[in-house]
A and B are shown apart, each in its own frame.
Chain A
Amino acid sequence: MTRRRLRVICAAVLCAIFGVGLFASTVSPYSYARQFRERPNAAPSASHLLGTDSLGRDLFARLVYGTRVSLLLAPAAALLATLIAGVFGGLAGLVGGWCEKLVLAAADLSMALPLLFVLLALRAVLPLDISPILSVIATFVLLGLLGWPSSLRVVWATTRNLRNSDFLLLARATGCGRWRMIVRHVFPNLRPVLFAQFWISIPLFVLTEATLSMLGLGVMEPLPSWGNLLRGLEDISAVSANLWRLAPLILLVLVVICFQLILPAQEETA
Protein backbone atom coordinates (compact mmCIF):
# COMPACT_ATOMS: atom_id res chain seq x y z
CA MET A 1 0.00 0.00 0.00
CA THR A 2 1.41 3.35 -0.94
CA ARG A 3 1.92 6.06 1.65
CA ARG A 4 -0.54 8.29 -0.16
CA ARG A 5 -3.27 5.66 -0.07
CA LEU A 6 -2.63 5.11 3.64
CA ARG A 7 -3.09 8.84 4.25
CA VAL A 8 -6.35 8.84 2.32
CA ILE A 9 -7.62 5.93 4.42
CA CYS A 10 -6.58 7.68 7.65
CA ALA A 11 -8.28 10.89 6.53
CA ALA A 12 -11.45 8.93 5.72
CA VAL A 13 -11.38 7.22 9.14
CA LEU A 14 -10.91 10.58 10.89
CA CYS A 15 -13.71 12.18 8.86
CA ALA A 16 -16.03 9.28 9.74
CA ILE A 17 -15.22 9.53 13.46
CA PHE A 18 -15.57 13.35 13.41
CA GLY A 19 -18.89 12.93 11.59
CA VAL A 20 -20.18 10.49 14.21
CA GLY A 21 -19.17 12.93 16.97
CA LEU A 22 -20.74 15.87 15.19
CA PHE A 23 -24.06 14.09 14.66
CA ALA A 24 -24.02 12.30 18.02
CA SER A 25 -27.65 13.08 18.78
CA THR A 26 -28.72 11.48 15.48
CA VAL A 27 -26.40 8.48 15.66
CA SER A 28 -27.13 7.60 19.28
CA PRO A 29 -30.58 6.32 20.22
CA TYR A 30 -30.27 7.56 23.82
CA SER A 31 -28.94 10.54 25.73
CA TYR A 32 -25.53 10.06 27.36
CA ALA A 33 -27.01 10.56 30.84
CA ARG A 34 -30.11 8.36 30.51
CA GLN A 35 -30.06 5.55 33.03
CA PHE A 36 -31.54 2.07 32.58
CA ARG A 37 -31.55 1.25 36.26
CA GLU A 38 -32.85 -2.25 35.77
CA ARG A 39 -29.92 -3.06 33.46
CA PRO A 40 -26.58 -2.04 35.08
CA ASN A 41 -23.45 -3.61 33.54
CA ALA A 42 -25.56 -5.20 30.78
CA ALA A 43 -23.84 -7.16 28.03
CA PRO A 44 -23.99 -5.89 24.42
CA SER A 45 -27.42 -6.42 22.86
CA ALA A 46 -29.60 -5.01 20.09
CA SER A 47 -30.88 -2.24 22.37
CA HIS A 48 -27.44 -1.46 23.88
CA LEU A 49 -24.79 -2.02 21.22
CA LEU A 50 -21.83 -1.85 23.64
CA GLY A 51 -23.75 -2.74 26.79
CA THR A 52 -24.27 -0.45 29.79
CA ASP A 53 -22.02 0.85 32.56
CA SER A 54 -22.40 0.29 36.30
CA LEU A 55 -25.02 3.08 36.47
CA GLY A 56 -27.03 1.54 33.62
CA ARG A 57 -26.06 4.20 31.04
CA ASP A 58 -25.76 3.13 27.41
CA LEU A 59 -22.05 2.81 26.60
CA PHE A 60 -22.53 3.41 22.88
CA ALA A 61 -24.35 6.70 23.55
CA ARG A 62 -21.63 7.77 25.97
CA LEU A 63 -18.91 6.83 23.48
CA VAL A 64 -20.55 8.79 20.67
CA TYR A 65 -21.14 11.88 22.84
CA GLY A 66 -17.66 11.48 24.35
CA THR A 67 -16.22 11.53 20.83
CA ARG A 68 -17.96 14.84 20.27
CA VAL A 69 -16.45 16.35 23.43
CA SER A 70 -12.93 15.03 22.87
CA LEU A 71 -12.66 15.45 19.14
CA LEU A 72 -14.37 18.79 18.72
CA LEU A 73 -12.76 20.56 21.65
CA ALA A 74 -9.21 19.31 21.09
CA PRO A 75 -9.06 21.21 17.74
CA ALA A 76 -10.44 24.28 19.55
CA ALA A 77 -7.61 24.04 22.10
CA ALA A 78 -5.12 23.42 19.27
CA LEU A 79 -6.44 26.51 17.50
CA LEU A 80 -5.90 28.61 20.64
CA ALA A 81 -2.36 27.25 21.10
CA THR A 82 -1.53 27.81 17.42
CA LEU A 83 -2.91 31.35 17.58
CA ILE A 84 -0.72 32.18 20.57
CA ALA A 85 2.28 30.57 18.88
CA GLY A 86 1.52 32.35 15.60
CA VAL A 87 1.13 35.81 17.13
CA PHE A 88 4.10 35.70 19.52
CA GLY A 89 6.35 33.52 17.35
CA GLY A 90 5.66 35.72 14.34
CA LEU A 91 6.26 38.87 16.37
CA ALA A 92 9.54 37.54 17.77
CA GLY A 93 10.72 36.45 14.33
CA LEU A 94 9.82 39.72 12.62
CA VAL A 95 10.78 42.26 15.28
CA GLY A 96 13.89 40.54 16.67
CA GLY A 97 15.98 42.19 19.41
CA TRP A 98 14.82 42.15 23.04
CA CYS A 99 11.29 41.14 22.03
CA GLU A 100 12.66 37.99 20.36
CA LYS A 101 14.85 37.19 23.39
CA LEU A 102 11.97 37.66 25.82
CA VAL A 103 9.53 35.52 23.83
CA LEU A 104 12.09 32.75 23.26
CA ALA A 105 13.10 32.73 26.94
CA ALA A 106 9.43 32.36 27.90
CA ALA A 107 9.00 29.56 25.36
CA ASP A 108 12.14 27.73 26.54
CA LEU A 109 11.05 28.02 30.14
CA SER A 110 7.55 26.78 29.36
CA MET A 111 8.94 23.87 27.36
CA ALA A 112 11.04 22.79 30.35
CA LEU A 113 7.98 22.69 32.64
CA PRO A 114 6.35 19.31 33.17
CA LEU A 115 3.00 20.04 31.49
CA LEU A 116 0.92 17.72 33.64
CA PHE A 117 2.20 19.20 36.93
CA VAL A 118 1.41 22.73 35.74
CA LEU A 119 -2.01 21.62 34.47
CA LEU A 120 -2.75 20.01 37.81
CA ALA A 121 -1.64 23.12 39.69
CA LEU A 122 -3.73 25.47 37.53
CA ARG A 123 -6.73 23.14 37.60
CA ALA A 124 -6.47 23.02 41.40
CA VAL A 125 -6.72 26.82 41.53
CA LEU A 126 -10.20 26.57 39.99
CA PRO A 127 -13.02 25.28 42.18
CA LEU A 128 -13.49 21.51 41.85
CA ASP A 129 -17.29 21.58 41.92
CA ILE A 130 -17.75 23.47 38.66
CA SER A 131 -20.45 22.37 36.23
CA PRO A 132 -19.56 19.69 33.64
CA ILE A 133 -19.77 22.22 30.77
CA LEU A 134 -17.45 24.60 32.61
CA SER A 135 -15.08 21.72 33.36
CA VAL A 136 -14.85 20.98 29.62
CA ILE A 137 -14.16 24.63 28.81
CA ALA A 138 -11.62 24.95 31.65
CA THR A 139 -9.79 21.78 30.60
CA PHE A 140 -9.43 22.73 26.95
CA VAL A 141 -8.69 26.42 27.59
CA LEU A 142 -5.90 25.37 29.98
CA LEU A 143 -4.57 22.96 27.35
CA GLY A 144 -4.66 25.71 24.72
CA LEU A 145 -2.99 28.23 27.01
CA LEU A 146 -0.16 25.85 27.95
CA GLY A 147 0.39 23.98 24.68
CA TRP A 148 1.99 26.73 22.57
CA PRO A 149 5.78 26.68 23.29
CA SER A 150 7.00 24.05 20.82
CA SER A 151 4.78 25.48 18.06
CA LEU A 152 6.11 28.96 18.83
CA ARG A 153 9.71 27.82 18.26
CA VAL A 154 8.82 26.46 14.82
CA VAL A 155 6.84 29.57 13.85
CA TRP A 156 9.64 31.82 15.11
CA ALA A 157 12.30 29.93 13.09
CA THR A 158 10.19 30.14 9.92
CA THR A 159 9.42 33.84 10.40
CA ARG A 160 13.09 34.62 11.04
CA ASN A 161 14.00 32.91 7.76
CA LEU A 162 11.27 34.89 6.03
CA ARG A 163 12.54 38.16 7.56
CA ASN A 164 15.91 37.59 5.92
CA SER A 165 14.44 36.45 2.60
CA ASP A 166 14.99 38.28 -0.68
CA PHE A 167 11.34 38.77 -1.49
CA LEU A 168 10.68 40.59 1.80
CA LEU A 169 13.75 42.74 1.20
CA LEU A 170 12.36 43.58 -2.21
CA ALA A 171 8.92 44.30 -0.74
CA ARG A 172 10.50 46.64 1.83
CA ALA A 173 12.59 48.30 -0.88
CA THR A 174 9.49 49.00 -2.97
CA GLY A 175 7.86 50.74 -0.01
CA CYS A 176 5.47 48.00 1.07
CA GLY A 177 3.86 48.93 4.40
CA ARG A 178 4.37 46.82 7.53
CA TRP A 179 0.79 45.53 7.73
CA ARG A 180 0.57 44.84 4.03
CA MET A 181 3.84 42.94 4.23
CA ILE A 182 2.56 40.82 7.11
CA VAL A 183 -0.84 40.14 5.56
CA ARG A 184 0.22 39.68 1.93
CA HIS A 185 3.71 38.18 2.23
CA VAL A 186 4.49 36.77 5.68
CA PHE A 187 1.17 35.17 6.64
CA PRO A 188 0.66 33.21 3.37
CA ASN A 189 4.14 31.73 3.82
CA LEU A 190 3.48 30.91 7.47
CA ARG A 191 0.12 29.28 6.80
CA PRO A 192 1.42 25.72 6.05
CA VAL A 193 3.60 25.81 9.20
CA LEU A 194 0.69 27.02 11.32
CA PHE A 195 -1.54 24.36 9.84
CA ALA A 196 1.05 21.64 10.56
CA GLN A 197 1.44 22.85 14.16
CA PHE A 198 -2.33 22.91 14.60
CA TRP A 199 -2.52 19.37 13.29
CA ILE A 200 0.32 18.16 15.54
CA SER A 201 -1.32 19.65 18.65
CA ILE A 202 -4.69 17.89 18.26
CA PRO A 203 -3.61 14.31 19.22
CA LEU A 204 -1.44 15.73 21.99
CA PHE A 205 -4.43 17.52 23.51
CA VAL A 206 -6.70 14.50 23.04
CA LEU A 207 -4.20 12.38 25.01
CA THR A 208 -3.67 15.00 27.73
CA GLU A 209 -7.42 15.43 28.20
CA ALA A 210 -7.75 11.66 28.49
CA THR A 211 -5.10 11.52 31.22
CA LEU A 212 -6.56 14.51 33.10
CA SER A 213 -10.10 13.10 32.96
CA MET A 214 -8.91 9.66 34.04
CA LEU A 215 -7.42 11.36 37.10
CA GLY A 216 -10.77 13.05 37.83
CA LEU A 217 -9.47 16.53 37.00
CA GLY A 218 -10.69 16.94 33.45
CA VAL A 219 -14.19 16.67 32.07
CA MET A 220 -16.67 16.08 34.88
CA GLU A 221 -19.41 13.45 35.01
CA PRO A 222 -22.07 13.00 33.77
CA LEU A 223 -20.67 14.61 30.60
CA PRO A 224 -18.71 11.90 28.78
CA SER A 225 -15.29 12.28 27.20
CA TRP A 226 -12.84 9.61 26.09
CA GLY A 227 -10.88 10.30 29.27
CA ASN A 228 -13.66 9.67 31.76
CA LEU A 229 -14.91 6.70 29.69
CA LEU A 230 -11.44 5.20 30.02
CA ARG A 231 -11.83 5.31 33.80
CA GLY A 232 -14.05 2.25 33.30
CA LEU A 233 -10.86 0.28 32.52
CA GLU A 234 -9.94 0.41 36.21
CA ASP A 235 -12.63 -2.21 36.88
CA ILE A 236 -10.93 -5.29 35.49
CA SER A 237 -13.86 -7.64 36.21
CA ALA A 238 -16.24 -5.41 34.21
CA VAL A 239 -13.73 -5.22 31.34
CA SER A 240 -13.21 -8.99 31.23
CA ALA A 241 -16.99 -9.50 31.33
CA ASN A 242 -17.57 -7.06 28.46
CA LEU A 243 -14.58 -6.50 26.19
CA TRP A 244 -16.51 -3.80 24.33
CA ARG A 245 -15.60 -1.55 27.25
CA LEU A 246 -12.25 -1.26 25.48
CA ALA A 247 -13.99 0.57 22.61
CA PRO A 248 -13.03 4.11 23.82
CA LEU A 249 -9.39 3.02 24.07
CA ILE A 250 -9.42 1.48 20.59
CA LEU A 251 -11.04 4.60 19.17
CA LEU A 252 -8.52 6.87 20.90
CA VAL A 253 -5.54 4.83 19.69
CA LEU A 254 -7.00 4.72 16.17
CA VAL A 255 -7.49 8.48 16.06
CA VAL A 256 -4.01 9.29 17.38
CA ILE A 257 -2.39 6.83 14.93
CA CYS A 258 -4.42 8.30 12.04
CA PHE A 259 -3.24 11.80 13.00
CA GLN A 260 0.35 10.55 13.15
CA LEU A 261 0.13 8.90 9.74
CA ILE A 262 -1.41 11.94 8.10
CA LEU A 263 1.08 14.29 9.74
CA PRO A 264 4.06 13.91 7.35
CA ALA A 265 1.84 15.10 4.52
CA GLN A 266 1.32 18.37 6.37
CA GLU A 267 5.03 18.68 7.12
CA GLU A 268 5.84 18.19 3.48
CA THR A 269 3.54 21.05 2.56
CA ALA A 270 5.34 23.16 5.14
Chain B
Amino acid sequence: MRHGIQRIGVRLLMLVALCLLGGLLSASLVRFSPGYGVDERELDPRLSPATVEAIRNSHRLNSGLLSYYGHYLAGAVHGDFGSSEWLQRPISSLIKERLPVTGRSVLMGVLVAWVVALAISLATVFFRGYLLDISGTLVSGVLIALPAAVVAIFSVYLRTPVFLAIALVTFPKLFRYLRNLLAHAYAQPYILAAQARGIGQARILFHHVLPLAAPALFALLGVSLSMAFGAAIPIEALCDSPGVGQLAWQAALNRDLPLIMNLTLLVTIITVAANSFANVASERSL
Protein backbone atom coordinates (compact mmCIF):
# COMPACT_ATOMS: atom_id res chain seq x y z
CA MET B 1 0.00 0.00 0.00
CA ARG B 2 2.75 2.41 1.07
CA HIS B 3 4.83 1.48 -1.95
CA GLY B 4 1.81 2.02 -4.18
CA ILE B 5 1.26 5.56 -2.82
CA GLN B 6 4.99 6.24 -3.16
CA ARG B 7 4.91 5.15 -6.80
CA ILE B 8 1.86 7.35 -7.52
CA GLY B 9 3.66 10.25 -5.78
CA VAL B 10 6.77 9.74 -7.95
CA ARG B 11 4.62 9.66 -11.09
CA LEU B 12 2.84 12.86 -10.05
CA LEU B 13 6.18 14.55 -9.38
CA MET B 14 7.40 13.47 -12.80
CA LEU B 15 4.24 14.90 -14.34
CA VAL B 16 4.82 18.26 -12.61
CA ALA B 17 8.46 18.21 -13.75
CA LEU B 18 7.28 17.47 -17.28
CA CYS B 19 4.85 20.41 -17.15
CA LEU B 20 7.66 22.76 -16.03
CA LEU B 21 10.15 21.41 -18.55
CA GLY B 22 7.61 21.36 -21.38
CA GLY B 23 6.56 24.90 -20.48
CA LEU B 24 10.18 26.08 -20.60
CA LEU B 25 10.73 24.37 -23.94
CA SER B 26 7.55 25.88 -25.38
CA ALA B 27 8.48 29.32 -24.02
CA SER B 28 11.96 29.02 -25.58
CA LEU B 29 10.52 28.04 -28.96
CA VAL B 30 8.03 30.91 -28.91
CA ARG B 31 10.58 33.42 -27.61
CA PHE B 32 13.34 32.54 -30.09
CA SER B 33 11.18 31.90 -33.15
CA PRO B 34 11.66 34.27 -36.10
CA GLY B 35 9.29 37.23 -35.88
CA TYR B 36 8.78 37.17 -32.09
CA GLY B 37 7.71 40.57 -30.74
CA VAL B 38 6.62 41.88 -34.12
CA ASP B 39 3.16 43.36 -33.76
CA GLU B 40 1.17 44.24 -36.87
CA ARG B 41 -0.57 47.01 -34.94
CA GLU B 42 2.69 48.98 -35.08
CA LEU B 43 2.07 49.45 -38.81
CA ASP B 44 -1.37 50.99 -38.28
CA PRO B 45 -1.05 54.66 -39.36
CA ARG B 46 -4.04 55.64 -37.19
CA LEU B 47 -2.12 54.90 -33.97
CA SER B 48 -0.24 57.74 -32.32
CA PRO B 49 3.53 57.43 -31.66
CA ALA B 50 2.79 57.15 -27.94
CA THR B 51 0.48 54.17 -28.51
CA VAL B 52 3.05 52.47 -30.78
CA GLU B 53 5.70 53.05 -28.10
CA ALA B 54 3.38 51.57 -25.47
CA ILE B 55 2.89 48.45 -27.64
CA ARG B 56 6.67 48.12 -28.08
CA ASN B 57 7.19 48.54 -24.34
CA SER B 58 4.66 45.82 -23.58
CA HIS B 59 6.75 43.43 -25.74
CA ARG B 60 10.03 44.58 -24.19
CA LEU B 61 8.69 43.78 -20.72
CA ASN B 62 8.88 40.04 -21.43
CA SER B 63 11.77 40.04 -23.85
CA GLY B 64 14.09 37.82 -21.75
CA LEU B 65 13.42 34.07 -21.82
CA LEU B 66 13.21 33.69 -18.04
CA SER B 67 10.94 36.70 -17.57
CA TYR B 68 8.78 35.45 -20.46
CA TYR B 69 8.63 31.98 -18.87
CA GLY B 70 7.97 33.41 -15.40
CA HIS B 71 5.16 35.56 -16.79
CA TYR B 72 3.73 32.52 -18.60
CA LEU B 73 3.89 30.32 -15.46
CA ALA B 74 2.31 33.00 -13.29
CA GLY B 75 -0.54 33.27 -15.77
CA ALA B 76 -0.89 29.49 -16.16
CA VAL B 77 -1.31 29.06 -12.38
CA HIS B 78 -4.37 31.32 -12.65
CA GLY B 79 -5.66 29.53 -15.76
CA ASP B 80 -4.41 32.25 -18.11
CA PHE B 81 -2.32 30.73 -20.93
CA GLY B 82 -2.08 33.93 -22.90
CA SER B 83 -3.91 34.94 -26.04
CA SER B 84 -4.02 33.47 -29.50
CA GLU B 85 -2.23 35.82 -31.92
CA TRP B 86 -4.37 34.63 -34.80
CA LEU B 87 -7.84 34.48 -33.22
CA GLN B 88 -7.20 37.28 -30.69
CA ARG B 89 -8.94 35.25 -28.01
CA PRO B 90 -7.77 33.80 -24.67
CA ILE B 91 -6.22 30.36 -25.20
CA SER B 92 -7.95 28.97 -22.09
CA SER B 93 -11.41 29.74 -23.52
CA LEU B 94 -10.43 28.14 -26.87
CA ILE B 95 -9.28 25.01 -25.06
CA LYS B 96 -12.46 24.96 -22.95
CA GLU B 97 -14.52 25.07 -26.16
CA ARG B 98 -12.54 22.56 -28.20
CA LEU B 99 -11.20 19.97 -25.75
CA PRO B 100 -14.57 18.30 -25.01
CA VAL B 101 -15.14 17.74 -28.77
CA THR B 102 -11.76 16.03 -29.21
CA GLY B 103 -12.04 14.23 -25.86
CA ARG B 104 -15.36 12.69 -26.89
CA SER B 105 -14.11 11.66 -30.36
CA VAL B 106 -10.85 10.24 -29.02
CA LEU B 107 -12.49 8.29 -26.18
CA MET B 108 -15.24 6.90 -28.44
CA GLY B 109 -12.69 6.08 -31.15
CA VAL B 110 -10.38 4.28 -28.71
CA LEU B 111 -13.32 2.40 -27.21
CA VAL B 112 -14.60 1.21 -30.61
CA ALA B 113 -11.06 0.28 -31.74
CA TRP B 114 -10.48 -1.70 -28.52
CA VAL B 115 -13.81 -3.53 -28.69
CA VAL B 116 -13.36 -4.51 -32.36
CA ALA B 117 -9.65 -5.38 -32.01
CA LEU B 118 -10.25 -7.42 -28.85
CA ALA B 119 -13.24 -9.22 -30.37
CA ILE B 120 -11.40 -10.18 -33.58
CA SER B 121 -8.19 -11.09 -31.70
CA LEU B 122 -10.12 -13.29 -29.27
CA ALA B 123 -12.06 -14.92 -32.10
CA THR B 124 -8.81 -15.52 -34.02
CA VAL B 125 -7.05 -17.07 -31.05
CA PHE B 126 -10.09 -18.86 -29.69
CA PHE B 127 -11.39 -20.47 -32.89
CA ARG B 128 -7.93 -20.73 -34.50
CA GLY B 129 -9.58 -20.11 -37.88
CA TYR B 130 -7.17 -19.31 -40.69
CA LEU B 131 -9.84 -17.41 -42.62
CA LEU B 132 -10.51 -15.07 -39.72
CA ASP B 133 -6.80 -14.64 -39.02
CA ILE B 134 -5.95 -13.93 -42.65
CA SER B 135 -8.86 -11.51 -43.16
CA GLY B 136 -7.99 -9.70 -39.90
CA THR B 137 -4.34 -9.47 -40.92
CA LEU B 138 -5.24 -8.29 -44.42
CA VAL B 139 -7.65 -5.60 -43.22
CA SER B 140 -5.24 -4.36 -40.55
CA GLY B 141 -2.34 -4.52 -43.05
CA VAL B 142 -4.17 -2.29 -45.53
CA LEU B 143 -5.46 0.08 -42.83
CA ILE B 144 -1.99 0.47 -41.32
CA ALA B 145 -0.69 1.45 -44.75
CA LEU B 146 -3.19 4.30 -45.09
CA PRO B 147 -2.18 7.74 -43.82
CA ALA B 148 -4.64 9.08 -41.23
CA ALA B 149 -5.46 11.97 -43.57
CA VAL B 150 -6.61 9.55 -46.29
CA VAL B 151 -8.85 7.76 -43.78
CA ALA B 152 -10.26 11.21 -42.94
CA ILE B 153 -11.02 11.93 -46.61
CA PHE B 154 -12.80 8.58 -47.02
CA SER B 155 -14.67 9.34 -43.82
CA VAL B 156 -15.86 12.62 -45.40
CA TYR B 157 -16.91 10.76 -48.58
CA LEU B 158 -18.88 8.20 -46.56
CA ARG B 159 -20.17 10.77 -44.03
CA THR B 160 -19.08 8.63 -41.08
CA PRO B 161 -18.62 10.22 -37.64
CA VAL B 162 -15.16 11.46 -36.62
CA PHE B 163 -14.74 8.88 -33.87
CA LEU B 164 -15.10 6.08 -36.42
CA ALA B 165 -12.22 7.50 -38.46
CA ILE B 166 -10.10 7.67 -35.27
CA ALA B 167 -11.09 4.08 -34.50
CA LEU B 168 -10.06 2.99 -38.01
CA VAL B 169 -6.62 4.57 -37.59
CA THR B 170 -6.11 3.11 -34.10
CA PHE B 171 -7.56 -0.36 -34.80
CA PRO B 172 -4.82 -1.97 -36.96
CA LYS B 173 -1.97 -1.28 -34.53
CA LEU B 174 -4.10 -2.41 -31.59
CA PHE B 175 -5.22 -5.56 -33.38
CA ARG B 176 -1.66 -6.66 -34.14
CA TYR B 177 -0.50 -6.19 -30.57
CA LEU B 178 -3.60 -7.74 -29.05
CA ARG B 179 -3.55 -10.79 -31.31
CA ASN B 180 0.10 -11.51 -30.55
CA LEU B 181 -0.42 -10.85 -26.86
CA LEU B 182 -3.42 -13.19 -26.59
CA ALA B 183 -1.78 -15.86 -28.78
CA HIS B 184 1.24 -15.76 -26.46
CA ALA B 185 -0.97 -15.98 -23.36
CA TYR B 186 -3.04 -18.88 -24.75
CA ALA B 187 0.17 -20.77 -25.62
CA GLN B 188 1.28 -20.90 -21.96
CA PRO B 189 1.50 -24.50 -20.64
CA TYR B 190 -0.79 -23.86 -17.66
CA ILE B 191 -3.52 -22.54 -20.00
CA LEU B 192 -3.20 -25.69 -22.12
CA ALA B 193 -3.41 -27.71 -18.92
CA ALA B 194 -6.55 -25.82 -17.87
CA GLN B 195 -8.11 -26.48 -21.28
CA ALA B 196 -7.18 -30.16 -21.02
CA ARG B 197 -8.92 -30.36 -17.64
CA GLY B 198 -12.11 -29.08 -19.21
CA ILE B 199 -12.24 -25.68 -17.48
CA GLY B 200 -14.69 -23.36 -19.24
CA GLN B 201 -13.32 -20.94 -21.83
CA ALA B 202 -14.84 -17.91 -20.09
CA ARG B 203 -13.14 -18.87 -16.83
CA ILE B 204 -9.82 -19.44 -18.62
CA LEU B 205 -10.11 -16.06 -20.31
CA PHE B 206 -11.07 -14.00 -17.27
CA HIS B 207 -9.10 -15.88 -14.59
CA HIS B 208 -5.94 -16.88 -16.44
CA VAL B 209 -5.43 -15.18 -19.80
CA LEU B 210 -6.47 -11.60 -19.06
CA PRO B 211 -4.61 -11.35 -15.72
CA LEU B 212 -1.46 -12.59 -17.48
CA ALA B 213 -1.86 -10.07 -20.31
CA ALA B 214 -3.08 -7.23 -18.03
CA PRO B 215 0.22 -5.30 -17.64
CA ALA B 216 0.74 -5.20 -21.41
CA LEU B 217 -2.95 -4.38 -21.99
CA PHE B 218 -2.78 -1.41 -19.62
CA ALA B 219 0.40 -0.17 -21.31
CA LEU B 220 -1.32 -0.55 -24.68
CA LEU B 221 -4.29 1.47 -23.41
CA GLY B 222 -1.99 4.43 -22.67
CA VAL B 223 -0.28 4.13 -26.06
CA SER B 224 -3.62 3.88 -27.89
CA LEU B 225 -4.72 7.21 -26.38
CA SER B 226 -1.52 8.82 -27.65
CA MET B 227 -2.13 7.31 -31.12
CA ALA B 228 -5.73 8.53 -31.14
CA PHE B 229 -4.74 12.10 -30.20
CA GLY B 230 -2.17 12.08 -33.01
CA ALA B 231 -4.79 10.85 -35.47
CA ALA B 232 -7.22 13.55 -34.30
CA ILE B 233 -5.23 16.32 -36.07
CA PRO B 234 -5.65 15.22 -39.70
CA ILE B 235 -9.07 13.73 -39.09
CA GLU B 236 -10.53 16.82 -37.39
CA ALA B 237 -8.81 19.11 -39.90
CA LEU B 238 -10.20 17.33 -42.95
CA CYS B 239 -13.58 16.37 -41.46
CA ASP B 240 -14.09 19.96 -40.23
CA SER B 241 -14.65 18.86 -36.64
CA PRO B 242 -14.14 21.81 -34.26
CA GLY B 243 -11.76 20.10 -31.85
CA VAL B 244 -8.25 20.63 -30.50
CA GLY B 245 -6.72 18.79 -33.48
CA GLN B 246 -8.29 21.16 -35.97
CA LEU B 247 -7.28 24.14 -33.81
CA ALA B 248 -3.66 22.90 -33.68
CA TRP B 249 -3.60 22.54 -37.47
CA GLN B 250 -5.06 26.02 -38.01
CA ALA B 251 -2.62 27.45 -35.45
CA ALA B 252 0.31 25.85 -37.30
CA LEU B 253 -0.93 27.19 -40.66
CA ASN B 254 -1.33 30.67 -39.20
CA ARG B 255 1.94 30.44 -37.26
CA ASP B 256 0.15 31.11 -33.99
CA LEU B 257 3.01 29.84 -31.82
CA PRO B 258 1.58 30.52 -28.33
CA LEU B 259 -1.57 28.59 -29.27
CA ILE B 260 0.17 25.60 -30.90
CA MET B 261 2.70 25.35 -28.06
CA ASN B 262 -0.03 25.39 -25.41
CA LEU B 263 -2.05 22.78 -27.27
CA THR B 264 1.00 20.53 -27.70
CA LEU B 265 1.79 20.88 -24.01
CA LEU B 266 -1.81 20.11 -23.06
CA VAL B 267 -2.02 16.98 -25.22
CA THR B 268 1.41 15.88 -23.99
CA ILE B 269 0.31 16.20 -20.37
CA ILE B 270 -2.91 14.27 -21.09
CA THR B 271 -1.08 11.43 -22.86
CA VAL B 272 1.76 11.28 -20.31
CA ALA B 273 -0.82 11.24 -17.48
CA ALA B 274 -2.71 8.44 -19.26
CA ASN B 275 0.54 6.48 -19.73
CA SER B 276 1.50 7.02 -16.08
CA PHE B 277 -1.94 5.86 -14.97
CA ALA B 278 -1.61 2.81 -17.23
CA ASN B 279 1.85 2.06 -15.79
CA VAL B 280 0.59 2.31 -12.19
CA ALA B 281 -2.37 0.07 -13.07
CA SER B 282 -0.12 -2.47 -14.78
CA GLU B 283 2.28 -2.50 -11.80
CA ARG B 284 -0.65 -3.14 -9.47
CA SER B 285 -1.92 -5.97 -11.68
CA LEU B 286 1.42 -7.78 -11.60
What are 11 contact pairs spanning A and B, CB under 8 A? Answer: A112-B271, A112-B272, A114-B271, A117-B267, A120-B252, A123-B252, A124-B251, A207-B147, A257-B142, A260-B141, A260-B144
With both beta carbons as reference points, the residue of chain B lying nearest to A257 in the complex is identified as B145
In the assembled complex, the CB of B154 is this many whole angstroms from the nearest CB of chain A, namely: 8
Residues of B close to A123: CB separation below 8 A: 252
Assuming the contacts A114-B230, A117-B267, asked whether A124 and B260 have C-beta atoms less than 8 A apart, the reply is yes
Query: A238 an interface residue at 8 Å Cβ cutoff?
Result: no
Name 9 extra pairs, CB < 8 A, besides A116-B234, A211-B148, A260-B141: A116-B231, A116-B233, A124-B257, A125-B33, A127-B34, A203-B145, A211-B234, A215-B149, A252-B145
Query: B153 an interface residue at 8 Å Cβ cutoff?
Result: yes
Residues of B near any A CB (own CB < 8 A)? 18, 26, 29, 33-35, 141-142, 144-150, 153, 157, 222, 226, 229-231, 233-234, 237-238, 248-249, 251-253, 255-257, 260-261, 263-264, 267-268, 271-272, 275
Q: Which of A107-122 contact B (CB under 8 A)?
A: 109, 112-118, 120-122
Residues of A near any B CB (own CB < 8 A)? 109, 112-118, 120-125, 127-128, 203, 207-208, 210-211, 214-217, 227, 230, 233-234, 236, 249, 252-253, 256-257, 260
A260 and B145 form a contact (CB under 8 A): yes
Residues of B close to A115: CB separation below 8 A: 230
Which of B29, B141, B233 sits near A120, CB closer than 8 Å?
A: B233
A230 and B263 form a contact (CB under 8 A): no
Residues of A close to B141: CB separation below 8 A: 257, 260
A116 to B35, CA, bound (A): 24
A211 and B268 form a contact (CB under 8 A): no
With both beta carbons as reference points, the residue of chain A lying nearest to B154 in the complex is identified as A233
Residues of B close to A125: CB separation below 8 A: 29, 33, 257
Assuming the contacts A109-B18, A124-B255, asked whether A210 and B248 have C-beta atoms less than 8 A apart, the reply is no
Which of A120, A215, A234 sits near B260, CB closer than 8 Å?
A: A120
A234 to B150, CA, bound (A): 9
A118 and B147 form a contact (CB under 8 A): no
A120 and B264 form a contact (CB under 8 A): yes
Assuming the contacts A236-B157, A257-B142, A260-B144, asked whether A117 and B233 have C-beta atoms less than 8 A apart, the reply is yes
Nearest 10 pairs between A and B by C-beta? A256-B145, A214-B149, A124-B252, A210-B147, A114-B230, A116-B230, A120-B252, A121-B264, A253-B145, A211-B147
With both beta carbons as reference points, the residue of chain B lying nearest to A217 in the complex is identified as B252
B253 and A217 form a contact (CB under 8 A): yes
A233 to B142, CA, bound (A): 18
Residues of A close to B257: CB separation below 8 A: 124-125
Residues of B close to A120: CB separation below 8 A: 233, 248-249, 252, 260, 264
A230 and B268 form a contact (CB under 8 A): no
Assuming the contacts A118-B264, A257-B142, asked whether A230 and B149 have C-beta atoms less than 8 A apart, the reply is yes
A117 and B264 form a contact (CB under 8 A): yes
Which of B18, B229, B233 sits near A215, CB closer than 8 Å?
A: B233
